[in-house]
Each structure stands twice: as C-alpha cells, then as structure tokens.
C-alpha cells in the first residue's frame, strides 16, 4: 500500500525541501541528491507515472498532493528518529542526521506511531524543525534558541529551559513569558548580550538569559 524504494523516497523528500514555492529544476535536484541530471530526468518520469510529481519535459516538477503526503511521512520518520537518537541515545545534534537518513526508510507505520508515543509525541526535532503528526499535519514554524533567531524575525517564546525562581523573576521583570513576541534588534558578540524588542519596547538581555529562551518563528 505504501511501498517506495529508498531512492524514490529520497527524491520525494528532496523535492519537498526544495520546492518553497514554484517548481524544482533538474539541476537543483541533481545537486541536492549528488546524482547527475540525466538520472533525475529518469526518476521524474517514473514518479510521474506513480502520480507523485507533476512533470512536463523542460518545465521542472512539483509534488502532487499524494507526493506531498508521502514526503511528510518520510520527514516524520526522519525527525522522530533524530529525536530518539538525541534524547534517548544521547547522540549530539550534529550526529543524528546521518543515521536518521537510513532509519527514515524503514517503513512500518506501526513502528513509527509507537515510537512517537514512546517519545511523548515530540513536536520538534533536535534541530528545531517541526515533526509531522500521524495524520501528516505539520507546523509551519521552526523552534530555535533565542540566540539563533534571525535578527528582524518575529519569534514567539514557547519554552524556557531553566525555571528556577531567579529565572522567573528576571523573566517577569523583562515582561517575557510564554507566547510573548520578541525580535532581536542588535547582538553583541563580546558577551552574547542582545537588545530585543518586547511589547514595543527595547530591552537588553544577557547571553545567559537568551540561551535559556526558545522561540518559534516562520521561515
């Protein structure tokens, strides 16, 4: 019912990641997958007959609704395994991707749904990317530490790792809480402190504080 080869899955996933809007080109996809353009053309013809991509010669390609569904299944597997590797097996966040590249192709739905449950239905992988749920729904935002919020982007505070009373006092004073919108105005590399805009006002926060605040933002 849902049996695609590793290569087909890798192609589908790569198209998903490349197609922000508009369509993906042969060269782009070949570069992404480290294959040759001719191989991409061959694969696109196959995926077209399987109704996973829209494709006309010389006109690039995009996923069909079904192709997108498949992409989200693969991304769900990938990110759940990454979470498992980081959280349970204590891999560092740089190491998880490579191993998840293989694990993502083990296709048992039951395995993935049970893994999801075992992990407590995590919403973001170790890189802050959202994990699609069992129905293929995915959040549009990415979760990162405030220190990595691109300056100028609106972030929404969604997690604070240190919840000591000292931290809470400081957060209260800065008027920062769950759901608060923040935006980085200026960062100082000397001590990682930064000026941020909170509720129409500019405040300065230390690197120590920033490192404990996590925000969601749309890319």
Partner DNA sequence: AATTAAATTTAGACAAACCTAAAAAAAATA
Partner DNA sequence: TATTTTTTTTAGGTTTGTCTAAATTTAATT
Which residues bind to Mn ion, rule: CB under 5 A?
Answer: 10, 82, 101, 125, 127, 129
34 is a contact residue toward a second copy (CB under 8 A): no
Among a second copy, Mn ion, DNA, none, residue 187 binds (CB under 5-8 Å by kind): none
| Nearer to a second copy (CB atom), residue 107 or residue 147 | 107
Identify the burial level of 61 via C-beta atoms within 10 angstroms of its C-beta, where 0-12 means exposed, 13-18 middle and 19 or more buried: buried
CA distances in angstroms from 148 to 80, 157, 158, listed in the order given? 22, 13, 14
Residues 1, 2, 3, 8: which binds DNA (CB under 7 A)? Answer: 8
- CA dist., res. 57 & res. 55, Å (int): 7
134 is a contact residue toward a second copy (CB under 8 A): no
67 is a contact residue toward DNA (CB under 7 A): no
Helix 26-33 vs helix 6-18: crossing angle, to nearest 10: 120
Residues 12, 71, 103, 182: which binds a second copy (CB under 8 A)? Answer: 103
Contact segment (CB under 8 A) with a second copy among 39-47, 110-118, 180-188, 189-197 equals: 110-118
199 is a contact residue toward DNA (CB under 7 A): no
Radius of gyration of the chain (CA): 20
Identify the burial level of 185 via C-beta atoms within 10 angstroms of its C-beta, where 0-12 means exposed, 13-18 middle and 19 or more buried: middle
Among DNA, a second copy, Mn ion, none, residue 197 binds (CB under 5-8 Å by kind): none
With a CB cutoff of 8 Å and minimum separation 6, the contacts of 49 are none
193 is a contact residue toward a second copy (CB under 8 A): no
CB 193 within 8 A of CB 204: yes
| Nearer to DNA (CB atom), residue 59 or residue 199 | 59
CA distances in angstroms from 118 to 83, 97, 111, 113, 124, listed in the order given? 11, 20, 10, 9, 15
Contact segment (CB under 8 A) with a second copy among 109-117, 159-167, 178-186, 208-216 equals: 109-117
| Nearer to a second copy (CB atom), residue 61 or residue 91 | 91
Among DNA, a second copy, Mn ion, none, residue 125 binds (CB under 5-8 Å by kind): Mn ion
Binding site for a second copy (CB under 8 A): 85, 88-91, 95, 98-99, 102-103, 106-108, 110-111, 114-115, 118
């Amino acid at each position: 019912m849902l049996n695609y080869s590793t290569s087909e899955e890798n192609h589908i996933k790569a198209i998903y990641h490349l197609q922000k809007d508009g369509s993906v080109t042969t060269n782009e996809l070949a570069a992404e997958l480290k294959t040759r353009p001719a191989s991409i053309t061959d694969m696109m013809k196959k995926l077209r007959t399987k109704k996973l991509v829209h494709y006309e010669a010389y006109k690039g390609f995009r996923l069909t609704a079904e192709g997108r569904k498949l992409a989200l299944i693969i991304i769900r597997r990938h990110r759940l395994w990454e979470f498992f590797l980081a959280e349970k097996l204590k891999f560092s966040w740089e190491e998880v991707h490579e191993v998840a590249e293989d694990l993502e192709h083990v296709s048992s739905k039951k395995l993935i749904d049970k893994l999801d449950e075992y992990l407590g239905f995590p919403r973001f992988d170790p890189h802050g990317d959202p994990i699609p749920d069992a129905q293929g729904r995915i959040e549009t935002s990415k979760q990162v530490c405030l220190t990595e919020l691109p300056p100028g982007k609106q972030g929404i505070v969604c997690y604070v790792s240190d919840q000591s009373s000292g931290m809470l006092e400081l957060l209260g004073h800065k008027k920062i809480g769950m759901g608060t919108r923040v935006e980085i105005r200026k960062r100082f590399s000397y001590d990682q402190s930064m000026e941020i805009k909170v509720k129409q006002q500019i405040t300065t926060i230390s690197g120590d504080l920033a490192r404990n605040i996590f925000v969601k933002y749309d890319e």
